Chain A
Amino acid sequence: MTYAAEISRANPSCFVFLVDQSASMNDPIGGGQQRKADVVADAINRLLAELSVKCAKEEGVRDYFHVAVIGYGHAVGSAFTGPLAGRDLVPLSQVAEKPARVEKRTKKVPDGAGGLVETTTRFPVWVDPVANGATPMCRALASAESLVSDWVSRHPDSFPPIVLNLTDGESTDGDPAGAAWGVQTHVTADGAALLFNLHVSAANAVPVTFPDTDIALPDGYARTLFGMSSLLPPHMRFYALQQGVPAEDLARGFVYNADITSLVQFLDIGTRATDLR
């Protein structure tokens, strides 16, 4: 059985986030006013916060994961800002402790009695939006591959590394499919590294979450990214279904203009991997 390894401090796994920081990320996301770069930076910061909460125990955040955030645009390299700037794989406890800053964000939320009320929350920021230069996706994937390859050789028994690529899809340094397959050739005894893709697009098309076919996808970039994405492991599919997201047998870790932070909730820590019922 694959994708069932225990994720623990003694046997941690790793996350590599790839963030598209090319000039095209300045464009607004389809059907919205937000820039793609803002959407993607927000998604990364939420994912990191979510992961930190997921792995928090009595004594603090445990190093169930080591996390890298690689940006690609005018250059390919660590996208962390603040104290973690320049670092690749960082133990999760350090990530949780060292955001670049904690922003106070004010928003209006329902007060439960039919009205709206303003409330302030502290929002940790590790990655700032950047939009500058070309889209060297192949180089970014190669960079992820080298981290993954190194990880599996040091942790051959771990839950396989997860690479999550957040992009608008328009690779400028060649067909990313080969580099994508390269990432997925690295395996632990528990299975091959997983490559998931979040496609943020300026096109105003219907959002898609974990499809099992590329027929409904609006363009060639989306289809290429779909083809590059790993199949969702069974237990992740189970949790997707539990959250009301229809994820078929051949559903892939691909999301088009939709939320990806739910991915963190798909991770099993401690308990036995849940079987599909």
Chain B
Amino acid sequence: MTTSPSFTSTSGDEPTRALPSGATYVEALQDTALCFRGTDLAGADVRVDALGRPRAISGNFASVFSVTVADGTRYAIKCFTREAPEQAARYRAVGEHLARLDDDWTVGFDYVAHGILVDGAWHPVLRMEWVEAVNLLRWIDRHVDDSHAVSRVAERFAHLVARLAEAGIGHGDLQHGNLLITADGSIKLVDYDGVYVPALAGLPAAETGHRNYQSPDRTAAEFGPEVDRFSSWVVYLSLVALATDPSLWRQLRAEDAEHLLLAESDFADPAGSFRLATLTGHPDARLRGLAERFQQILLHHRAAPPPLEPLDPLDGVELSSGENFGDVEPSGPRLPSWMVERLEPHMPAPPPLVRFSHRAPALAALTRALLVLLPFGVPAAVFVDEAVAVADVSAVLAWAAVTAAGYRRQPERARAREARAERKRLANARLAAEAQATRVDQDARQAAEAAERSRAEQDRRRQDLQQWHDQRLRAHQRAVKVHLDQIDRDRQGSAARMHLEEQRLLVRRQKAHLRAELAQFRLATAGVEGVGPTQIANLEAVGIRTAADFVGVRYEVDGHDRVAIFVLADGRAVSAARVGEVSAVLIDQWRERRTAEVEATRPTAVTPVEHRALRIRFTAERAQLDAEHQRVLADAEVRFGELRAELRAAQVALADELKTANTATAHTRVDHDRAAAEAAVRLERAERAAAEGATRADAFRPISYRGYLRFLLTGRN
């Protein structure tokens, strides 16, 4: 760490191209000879992570890397990941202003416009001195139980806030990450991206700060020396509260939460804030007062809070820079007066027993006299006179009355009563807190169960919707299939008909061929054995000239003779004179031989003309069916699209409905979770208060009527 920080800024011709991402800088920084080429950082060592890659510390607007040059000087190099308007000009103004101050909270920086080469383009970097320090959250994590150290940081913080105001500076983002605590306990303020200095008057703020430190009303338009007022209240109140009561660190924030004791939700809804209520209801009066003041600010002056009002006048504070309370036990430097004056230490030792202090001499004498005389009273009453008994009783009663009155007048007795009443009240409060915690737990359990049921119900509804769609889809697919099957059957029928038709034509052609060919075989020239001209003439007379003229022969019995009957091509039956059975058989064999010869050469297909005619006829039919098939498919696709669109619409509607229901569930669960956490803290605090109340009341153990009598009698208690 250098003692005299420098602040410079090179010319501000800012690059216009989009800034690299954090990971892109990590890549570039793996070759510092290249990315810092021509600068004194060329070849410097970059601190790396376990993977050997440059180790980043990232914020929302930049990543910072630790870079060490050859002479051992270590820098923090800030690489920007989001555009900031007029960045160079702002840094120049801030640098010039800070250079005029001699404050120890500042950290020196150089704004370098040509800072780092990434993928061939130069981008600006902020080169800062490296500060060995830890941020406020981690510092508190380590030191929260050291109330003295915490209270001194609170003092120093108030001092820092006053210095900033004096110098006319607004940091813009006062928060744990930008408040670093060094080993000697001093505070360094880092990250000057959003700093206001008078030269920047009129510009808007470059950023609006960490959500857990800023007024919900803050906008970029507010940019001036007052910009840190709200956040300084948040930080200071938290530090004072922690110095007063370290248990708040665990009670008012989740482990690792990124805020001090108050957060965004407390600023947004101060009336409903448990954390704020815990602070304003704290047993410690000074903390309570400070918290109440901040509550008033939240309720009435949230947009324009007043300056921080530290508990001690600041001019009384001396901060010795040499003191060391980082990790070393503090060695008796002075405490802020609000710490010294605190009436209730955090964990009080059991108070000493309270004793009676004032003994009325007359009453003591009377008591002693009575004690001496009383043993004589009873025998006197028995043996002397009943009147003595009356006197005895009266005397005892009177003594009792007087001592009781004396006891009541004792100042210790009033305090004892108060302490006992307080003990009872705190014990009752503890019981109430216990009951509340149980109730809240039950509510949370019920809410979780309801959420579980609602989840099952939602699953069911989504399944129902899917089933409804699947059924409709199946019905649609069935109808389409039925239709397509019908078309397929029609296609098959058409093909079968065409085949039949073709066969029919073929058979006709074959028959015609057979007849024509057989007609060429004349019986007259056939030379059938035993068939002479007479028979030929007779056969011709009945119409049989060629092999085509008859198709067969049958035989009928006429008396003793068998007569050959010729069956003509047209089906008629004739017989020819003088053509006997033997001749007829031979003639028929001739015809069969000829037929067999002709059949061997018969046509096997229809004629091309016939074929074309057939094809034209059936192609038209087929095309019609194909068209219908296409139409059915297209319709099916359209309908499928409609069904899907309807499903999607139904899904969107259902999703919206479920989303609404689940949003309500989430809110309920968040409320229950918060209530449960708060109830647990309330119970813890009530238990502690009850225990402390009991301890305080126990100190008054000696303060009782009996004790008083003993005190009267002996003077001891």
Contacts and interface: CB of A to CB of B under 8 A. Distances in A.
Contacts of A185: 458, 655, 658-659, 662
Chain B interface size, as a band, is 35 or more
A181 interface: yes
B323 interface: no
Contacts of B670: 156-157, 189
Contacts of B56: 53, 56
Interface in A59-109: 59-60, 96-97, 99, 102, 109
B462 interface: yes
B82 A122 contact: no
A27 interface: no
Contacts of A111: 34, 37, 117, 120
Given A111-B34, A117-B34, A270 B59 contact: yes
A153 B451 contact: yes
B618 interface: no
B58 A54 contact: yes
Given A181-B652, A271-B209, A53 B63 contact: yes
Contacts of A172: none
A248 interface: no
A187 B659 contact: yes
Given A110-B120, A178-B466, A53 B31 contact: no
B471 interface: no
A217 to B, nearest CB: 17
Interface stretch (A33-41, A200-208, A260-268): A260-268
A8 B175 CA distance: 15
B37 to A, nearest CB: 6
Interface of A: 6, 8-11, 46, 49-50, 52-60, 96-97, 99, 102, 109-113, 117, 119-122, 124, 149, 152-153, 156-157, 175, 177-178, 181-182, 184-189, 192, 227, 239, 242-244, 261-262, 264-265, 268-272, 274
Contacts of B318: none
Contacts of B309: none
Contacts of B63: 53, 56
B255 interface: yes
6 contacts: A50-B23, A53-B26, A99-B51, A110-B120, A157-B670, A270-B210
A120 B717 CA distance: 87
A11 B34 CA distance: 40
Given A59-B138, A185-B659, A265 B34 contact: no
Interface in B622-650: 644, 647-648
Contacts of A262: 21
Nearest to A7: B258
A228 B630 CA distance: 31
Contacts of A272: 208-211, 214, 264
A109 B34 contact: yes
B486 interface: no
B78 to A, nearest CB: 14
Contact of A58 (B34, B135, B264): B135
B60 A189 contact: no
A9 B256 contact: yes
Contact of B60 (A6, A186, A268): A268
Contacts of A187: 659, 662-663, 666
Interface of B: 18, 21-23, 25-27, 30-31, 34, 37-38, 49-53, 55-60, 63, 81-83, 117, 119-120, 122, 134-135, 138, 177, 207-212, 214, 253-258, 264, 451, 455, 458, 462, 466, 644, 647-648, 651-652, 654-655, 658-659, 662-663, 665-667, 669-670, 673
Contacts of B135: 58
A120 B22 contact: no
Contact of A121 (B30, B208, B258): B30
B498 to A, nearest CB: 40
Contacts of A113: 37
Contacts, number: 173
Contacts of A102: 51-53
Nearest to B37: A112
A244 B214 CA distance: 29
B30 A265 contact: no
Contacts of A189: 663, 666-667, 669-670
Contacts of B207: 271
Nearest to A273: B211
A96 to B, nearest CB: 8
A124 B21 CA distance: 16
Contacts of A121: 27, 30-31
A156 B666 contact: yes
B120 A112 contact: yes
Nearest to B24: A50
Given A185-B458, A187-B659, A189-B667, A271 B648 contact: no
B664 to A, nearest CB: 9
Contacts of B38: 112
Contacts of B659: 184-185, 187, 192
Contacts of B208: 271-272, 274
Contacts of A120: 30-31
Contacts of A54: 22, 58
Nearest to B257: A10
Nearest to B208: A272
Nearest to B668: A156
Given A102-B51, A122-B53, 16 more contacts: A10-B255, A50-B21, A50-B23, A53-B21, A54-B22, A111-B34, A112-B38, A119-B34, A124-B51, A149-B455, A156-B665, A175-B644, A185-B458, A189-B670, A242-B82, A243-B18
Contacts of A271: 60, 207-211
